[in-house]
Amino acid sequence: MSSARSVHRAAWRARRGGAALLAACGLLLVGCSSGGGPQAPAGGRPAPRSTAGDSVTPGSAAPTALRPLPAATPAALLPYYRQKLAWHACDGSFECATFRVPLDYARPGAGDLTLTAARKKATGAGHARVGSLLLNPGGPGGSAVSYLEGVAGTFAAPVRAAYDLVGFDPRGVGRSSPVQCLAGPRMDAYAAADTTPDTPAEVDALVRLDREFAAGCEQRSGRSLPHVGTVDAARDMDVLRALLGDAKLHYLGKSYGTYLGAVYAGLFPGRVGRMVLDGALDPSLDARRAALGQASGFETAWSSFARDCVTHADCPFGRTTAAAGRSLDALLRSIDRKPLPAGGGRRLTEALATTGVIQAMYADFLWPQLRTAAKDAQRGDGKALMALADAYYERRSDGGYDNLMYANMAVNCLDMSAPFPGPQQVAAAVPAFVRASPHFGRAMAWMSLTCAYWPVKSVGGPRTVTAAGAPPIVVVGTTRDPATPYAWARSLAAQLSSGRLVTFRGDGHTAYGNRSDCVDTAVNTYLLEGQAPPEDKTCAS
């Protein structure tokens, strides 16, 4: 839901990438947990070009209600619902299959897209089979196939016994007709662009790169760009539900995956089974209010990091939380004036350094790495902060980039109108962003500009989702979640007619999966027995 360089993308990245960074200094953050459990991939990338908010403000769009689709499947779509999945062994102990969906649901005869799914079959050990559990790690743009393969073995044994675990890459993502935009060197330039411009020339340079990104997506993926939105992805998910032989959709979505799940519930409330939405987005927010909310969320996460940092002897930011904030600002200003060498002829710019810090806010197990990276940067070495930024952007060692960032922008810009029509409006909004986040607000305001130049008109907007008639839907919120602030989980749970809120008092992005026995027990009991947790259940870290 966030726009350019958006935050929502990265829950699973934060976790998968975080673990990889700790182990091999290589990947980024998308939604991994310290234990590598079911939360490992999730989804919610900040708006190094993003969006956020809380209440309706002058000039913002009022949400509309998402209406369910007719109960009967239209005749033109029946061939898609009657396909047969041909599973084959893939990627070790998993099975993969492809299936077709219409490029345009309004014109099913106008062409198809091919999507890829993977599954780990239920073990059947000691628990009756419930059905398939579809997983989505977030993004938008996170590969659910990769997520499944990374975390299938970390689910509790009874869950693995009762469910076939299934991940499919949504349209435009990973192995499902992926969106492509820029070659590696040009993506390097985009990621390094100054997002705290001080002069008209720096503003113009940022605008040129935003335009180049959008034009690259149109040139390389123009056919699919109008059709990669969340509503279409939710309809694809219903096709897959039918092909798996399930009357009801059982689903675990993290970060952006909560939005995908909520949209599905709004469209098909009668087909909802056991649904868990962890690290929730608030569908009633427009892009600008979402960006502001995310800025505030990362400020909350920074404050928590700073309180912890000053208790460690190796904290490079000082001995008090106030000193930590001043030290961070000084470091970023210094890098803005003189980017740091980061190995391989690359230079760490202020924007990349900020992204590295943001990356570490997704999970507290990355905090020690940030302390080391910041100390190195203060000494003139940018390699460690660059590694965090590369993980965030999923930049590979060969200089190329995975598809996540391209899909992220394509989905966000289609789902939601641009938060700002141009640089003048961004500049006017900067004071509000700085109030929401003194350390990241200015950058996050300018990161929200890319969708202003998107080649395809947005088709979505803020909406409330009630899913009237659906069984209980469990919404999980973390009180100091940086990418999907806790207020969003409360709002989504209140919107859903059958929402049940589980609160995790802790740090990091998303909660289910080896972070809290209390959260895991509540979710697993629901998945296995259909018994939803009591209203407003709270779990401590």
Name the residues annotated as catalytic. Answer: 255, 481, 509
Cis ω for the linkage preceding 140 (within 30 of 0): yes
- Strand pairing report for 131-136 and 347-348: unpaired
Who contacts 75 (Cβ-Cβ below 8 Å, separation ≥6)? none
**DSSP assignment letter at 61:** P
The values of phi and psi at residue 401, to 5°, are -125, 145
User: How wide is the angle at C-alpha 245 spanned by C-alphas 239 and 249, nearest 5°?
Assistant: 60
- Calpha distance 490→125 (Å, rounded): 36
- Calpha distance 520→507 (Å, rounded): 16
Who contacts 332 (Cβ-Cβ below 8 Å, separation ≥6)? 350, 353, 354
CA–centroid distance for 256 within its chain: 5
Q: Tokens 């990265």, residue?
A: 10
**DSSP assignment letter at 76:** G
- Calpha distance 441→436 (Å, rounded): 7
CA–centroid distance for 142 within its chain: 7
Please state the three-class secondary structure of 109-120 as a single string: HHCEEEEEEEEE
- Calpha distance 500→536 (Å, rounded): 7
- 3-class DSSP state of 176: strand
**CA distances (Å), 217 to each of 396, 450, 468, in order?**
20, 12, 37
